Structure 1
Amino acid sequence: MNEPGTGATSRVLGGRLWAGGAASACVAALVAVVGILIARGLLDIPVLAPRRAGTWGGASTLTYALVSAAVALAATALLHLLLLTTPRARAFFGWIMVLLTVIAVVVPLGLSAALDARLATAILNLAIGLSVTVTLSGVAGSAIVRDTAPTTYPYP
């Protein structure tokens, strides 16, 4: 990428970006598991499953964790695309992620479940969304390399 008027170029280190995206996916999955354990185990709120499912809640906990990881990987793909094509990519990424997180928070609030379950799910979605946004924003900063001097090749 060329930075107009500066003679500088920048490039995206895809390997570093995707390694950070994989780490972010692990964090998102663990945030989901911890949030469900707190809601079900400590607060006895039936998040994502009926009370009889217990603290771990069967497959729905695993599914929620895997979907959270997939969301982080999808966000990594979005970030990579923005870094390659868009001016001020990190700003656009931040806005897109915040708005998607707001959607993920609002959707459970409109469901016809108990209020405590709706609030717990909304808070859990907020925590997952923020974890993905914050970790990938940091990864983006380390995945961009700025070459301050333009590369020139001597001509014979």
Structure 2
Amino acid sequence: MTGMNPPGDPRPSPTVNGGRLWAGGAATAAVAALIAVAGVLLGRGLFGVDVLAPQGQGVWGDASTGWYALGAALSALAATGLVHVLILTTPRPMRFFGWVIALATVVGMLAPFVTDESLGSRMYTAGLNFVLGVAIGSLVAGTAKTSIVPVAARPAARPYPRPYR
């Protein structure tokens, strides 16, 4: 897929190897889901912190653990879609992507603090959301950089030599 430049724009549009980008996005989704599950197990099992559900649900928790992992995976796929669109449509797409990921991570870190859970639970969940944001942002950005297909610059127009007479 090619980018969109206005007609007559001398700058070449970037192209994206979509298969590579989305394969990396799928791998990132798997990593994010596993980070979420490992984080819940670590919090509940080792530290005894209520992560997403009361401790009485057991170390594995209830369905909320699965939903948390699914949410992490879907966040990675959404980040992949976002970077794909940004590469095709914006100048300096990786800078915009970095800002969006950073702000989304901050929102994810602040979200636990609007609950009535204990301070330890809120802090741990905010930390887990930070780790997820860093992992998703760095993995998707790295995949995106390797998925951009460089476009050869158009050679400058050279006047043709005059024929000999």
TM-score, normalisation: structure 1: 0.89
Superposition CA RMSD, Å: 1.7
Rounded Cα–Cα distance in structure 2 between residues aligned with 1:117 and 1:9: 47
Deviation digits for residues 39-76 of structure 1, max 9, x if unmatched?
00100001101111111002111111011101111111
Aligned residue type for 2:120: D
Rounded Cα–Cα distance in structure 2 between residues aligned with 1:84 and 1:8: 11
Match in the other structure for 2:70: 66
- Report the CA distance between 1:9 and its aligned residue: 5.0
Match in the other structure for 1:146: 150
* Structure 2: gaps spanning 5 or more residues: 156-165
Aligned residue type for 2:109: V
Contact between 1:13 and 1:145, CA under 8 Å: does it hold in 2? yes
**Match among 116, 129, 133 for residue 129 of structure 1:** 133
> Which is strand-richer, 1 or 2?
1
Aligned residue type for 1:81: V
Aligned residue type for 1:65: A
Rounded Cα–Cα distance in structure 2 between residues aligned with 1:76 and 1:47: 27
- Report the CA distance between 1:107 and its aligned residue: 1.4
- Report the CA distance between 1:105 and its aligned residue: 0.1
Match in the other structure for 2:20: 16
Number of residue pairs matched by the alignment: 149
Aligned residue type for 1:143: S
Partner secondary structure for residue 104 of structure 1: helix
Rounded Cα–Cα distance in structure 1 between residues aligned with 2:35 and 2:138: 13
- Report the CA distance between 1:10 and its aligned residue: 2.8
Question: Quick check: which has more Rg, 1 or 2?
Answer: 2
Contact between 1:9 and 1:146, CA under 8 Å: does it hold in 2? no
TM-score, normalisation: structure 2: 0.85
Percent of residue pairs identical:
48
Aligned residue type for 1:107: A
**Match among 55, 66, 78 for residue 82 of structure 2:** 78
Partner secondary structure for residue 95 of structure 2: helix
Match in the other structure for 2:54: 50
Contact between 2:14 and 2:87, CA under 8 Å: does it hold in 1? no
Contact between 1:10 and 1:147, CA under 8 Å: does it hold in 2? yes
* Structure 1: gaps spanning 5 or more residues: 152-156
- Report the CA distance between 1:112 and its aligned residue: 1.4
- Report the CA distance between 1:8 and its aligned residue: 5.2
Match in the other structure for 1:29: 33
Contact between 1:9 and 1:150, CA under 8 Å: does it hold in 2? no
